[in-house]
Amino acid sequence: MAARAPVETAAMRRAIELAARGLGHTSPNPVVGCVVLDPGGRTVGEGWHQRAGGPHAEVHALRAAGERARGGTAVVTLEPCNHTGRTGPCARALIDAGIARVVYAVSDPTPAATGGAVTLAEAGVDVEGGLLADEAAAGNEAWLTAVLRRRPFVLWKYAATLDGRIAAADGTSRWISSPESRADVHRLRAAADAVIVGSGTARADDPQLGARISGLSDDEISQPLRVVVDSGATAVKAGARVLDGTAPTLIAVAEDADAAHLEGLAPLLRLPRAADGRGLSIPALLQALYERDVRSVLLEGGPTLAGAFLAAQAVDKVVGYLAPVLLGAGPAAVGDAGITTIAQALRLEVTGTERLGPDLRITATPLRHSRHEEN
Ligand SMILES: NC(=O)c1ccc[n+]([C@@H]2O[C@H](COP(=O)([O-])OP(=O)(O)OC[C@H]3O[C@@H](n4cnc5c(N)ncnc54)[C@H](OP(=O)(O)O)[C@@H]3O)[C@@H](O)[C@H]2O)c1
C-alpha cells in the first residue's frame, strides 16, 4: 500500500468541501465529494453528489477527468458504492476508468451499498479507508445518524434571551435574536430536508418556514418540507403563510381529527396520538417522515414540542442562539421533557461556540444514556 501523500490529504479536504454543496439536495442519499488525481498527483477531476437520482460524486469527477484518470487516484469522502440503484455502482465505474488507487474516508454502513472497497481490491485497485474519517463523518452527520437510528437526524434550534426565555409573557418573540443569527437559521433550513413546528408556534407566529439566503437565487436554495404538528387540525387555516405554495407542506394531525377544512390546502399526515395523550406520537411522526425520504429535520419548536422530542430521546443536536437580552418573564426554551429531579437532567457536550453579531451560538449534543446509567 502506498504511503498517504500530503496531496491526498489536501484532496480529501477538498472532497469534504465539495460534498457539503449537496446538503439539503441528496436525501435519501448521503452527501459525497470526490477528487481525481492523475498519476502525478495533479487534480484532474472534481465532483459531488448533487441530487438524489443523479450521478454519484465519483461519476462526475471521472467525467471531468476523462482519460487523465487512468493510473490515477480517486479520493472520496465515502466508500464507493457497490450496488446498482438509480445509477450504476461507483466501484465498477472507477475500475472501468483505470483508477489505480482509491482513498476514502468513511465506510458505507448501508447493507445494500457496502462492499465497494472489497470489489475494488479484488479488481487489483489499491484501496485505503479512514483518511480524515472524523471530518468527513461530521459532514455527513445527518445521513449517518439517520442510517444508524432508522429515523431522521433531528437538530433542535432555539433562540433565547440570556435568562433562557424564548418569548415574552404575552407570547411575542420577534425578534429575540440578531439578524446574523436569523440568517444562520435560514442556512440550517436550507440544509435540512424538513422543518418542524408545533401548533402553538403556528398559532402564535404564523411562520412561513422557508429558507432565504442573501446572495443566492431561489434556484440555488433547497427549500425544506414544512411540517406543522397540529393534532386537532385547529392551528393551520386557509391563508396561513406555511400554505403559500413556495415549498411543500405537511400538516400532521391525529388519526381521528376533523380536518375537512384543510382538504385541498395541504397534504395531511394522519398519525396516532402520543401514549401519554399529549399531542401526536413523536416516533410515529419521525417514522413517517423517514418513509418519505426525510433524513434530516430542523426542529424549530416551540418549547412544548421540543420538550416532547427530548423526552422521546429524539434530539441529536442542539443549536441555541443566546441573545444579550433579558425578559424576566415568559416561557423557557424547553417545556416539560419528563425530567423531575436533578439526577435525571439531560446533560450535553458543547461542540461549538460562535459569536453571531451580538449573539452567542452554542452547539451541543446530548450525552445519550447518561440518565439511564445514573438511575
Ligand atoms: N424563540 C424561539 O426559538 C421560538 C421558536 C418557536 C416558538 N417560539 C415561541 O413559542 C411559543 C409557542 O410555544 P408552544 O410550546 O405553545 O408551541 P409548540 O411547541 O410549537 O406547540 C405545542 C403544541 O404542539 C402540539 N403537539 C403535537 N404533538 C405534540 C407532542 N407529542 N408533544 C407536545 N406537543 C405536541 C400540541 O398541541 P395540539 O396537540 O393541540 O396540536 C402542543 O400544545 C410562541 O410564543 C412562539 O413565538 C419561540
Query: Per residue in 2-55, pLDDT tens?
Result: 456 899 999 999 999 999 999 999 999 999 999 999 999 999 999 999 999 899
Task: Give pLDDT tens digits for 223-235.
Answer: 999 999 999 999 9
279: nearest Cα among 243, 239, 234, 332: 234
Q: Return the best residue to mutate from 163, 199, 226 for the ligand 1 pocket (most ligand atoms within 8 A of CB).
A: 199
Ligand 1 close to Cβ of residue 173 (< 6 A):
yes
Question: Rounded distance, CA 192 to CA 226, Å?
Answer: 10
Cα–Cα distances in Å, from 90 out to 20, 57, 61?
A: 19, 9, 11
The predicted pLDDT at position 84 comes to 67
| Residue nearest to ligand 1 atom 46, measured at CA | 201
The predicted pLDDT at position 41 comes to 96
> Phi/psi zone of residue 275: left (φ > 0), alpha (ψ -120 to 50 degrees), beta?
alpha
**Alpha-carbon torsion angle 287, 292, 294, 297, nearest 10:** -60
Per the omega criterion (within 30 degrees of 0), is the bond before 48 cis? no
* 3-state SS, residue 18: helix
The predicted pLDDT at position 371 comes to 45
Ligand 1 close to Cβ of residue 176 (< 6 A):
yes
Ligand 1 close to Cβ of residue 279 (< 6 A):
yes
The predicted pLDDT at position 89 comes to 86
pTM of the model: 0.93
The predicted pLDDT at position 102 comes to 97
Grid coordinates representing 100? 489505480
306 Cα nearest atom in ligand 1: 19
The predicted pLDDT at position 82 comes to 85
Is the sign of the CA dihedral 130, 134, 136, 141 positive or negative?
A: positive
Per DSSP, the residues of 130-142 read -TTHHHHHHHTHH
| Residue nearest to ligand 1 atom 28, measured at CA | 279
Question: Rounded distance, CA 206 to CA 73, Å?
Answer: 52
| Residue nearest to ligand 1 atom 17, measured at CA | 200
Task: Give pLDDT tens digits for 114-161.
Answer: 788 999 999 999 999 999 999 999 999 999 999 999 999 999 999 999
Average pLDDT, the chain: 93
Quick check: 297 pLDDT over 70? yes
The predicted pLDDT at position 375 comes to 38
* Interacting residues of 168 by C-beta distance below 8 A, sequence separation 6+: 327, 329, 330
CA of residue 27 relative to chain centroid, distance: 9
Per the omega criterion (within 30 degrees of 0), is the bond before 328 cis? no
Question: Rounded distance, CA 36 to CA 88, Å?
Answer: 19
Q: How confident is the model at residue 374 (pLDDT cuts 50, 70, 90)?
A: very low
